[in-house]
Amino acid sequence: MSADTPVAFRPVHRFRRTAPWLAAVALLSAGVFFVVPQFTGASQQSRDATLSDCLRYLRAQVFVYAAQHNNRAPGFPGNDPTQPPDAQTFAGQMTGYTDAFGRVGERRDDGFDLGPYLIDLPANPITLHKGVLVTTRETMPAPDESQPYGWIYNPRTRQIVANVAGTDARGVPYASY
């Protein structure tokens, strides 16, 4: 620019230099607008798949426990189905060493040579709650995500479901997993 160029025209030259940058920023913003929702959907699908895997693993470990304990499901104190089952007994039997009668020991030694079946109760990947509601009702209770448990378990039927209401990304109800 020469010294004779009026001051009013000088910003136009600056705009010509910044216009390509503005166009690039606009394109990147548009890309983010369309790409980020796809990653959000992938994240939801990942949580859905993890929930399915957790349920499969929990069900398999309940089956293994029962196979090693005279066909008694975990949750009953002393593996006695006449006693009311509870979450603390279920967690102890699944994460500790047990004897053939379902009693929990501190370490693997004489008689306590079965288990553990889980290192720890997994957190529900949707709600992030770890606890278990143990029930013996004929039908499973409806999921209630406001409660501090991630799983609902019935030792009489050996059914375990996620405490998650709603449906997954494909429209399948979580209760049917």
Does the residue 1 lie in any domain? no
Quick one: pLDDT at residue 144? 95
Q: What is the mean pLDDT of residues 10-38?
A: 58
Total of domains in the chain:
1
Instruction: Write phi, then psi, for 29 (nearest 5 degrees).
Output: -65, -40
pLDDT at res. 45: 87
Mean pLDDT of all residues in 88-111: 94
Per DSSP, what are the bridge partners of residue 152?
Answer: 133, 161
Full domain range(s) for residue 167 = 7-176
pLDDT at 44: 82
119: in domain: yes
User: Residue 119: what residue type?
Assistant: I
pLDDT (0 to 100) of residue 24: 64
Q: Are strands 97-98 and 104-105 parallel, antiparallel or unpaired?
A: antiparallel
Question: What is the structure's pLDDT at 106?
Answer: 87
pLDDT in tens, 144-157: 999 999 999 999 99
The whole-number pLDDT of residue 42 equals: 67
pLDDT for position 63? 97
Question: Does residue 2 lie in a domain region?
Answer: no
Question: Mean pLDDT over residues 132-138, rounded?
Answer: 96
Distance separating the N- and C-terminal Cα atoms of the chain:
71
Which of the 8 DSSP states describes residue 77? Answer: G
Residue 19 lies in a domain: yes
Strands 149-154 and 131-134: parallel
Examine the pLDDT at 113 and tell me if it is beyond 60: yes
CA 56 to CA 53: how far, in whole Å?
5
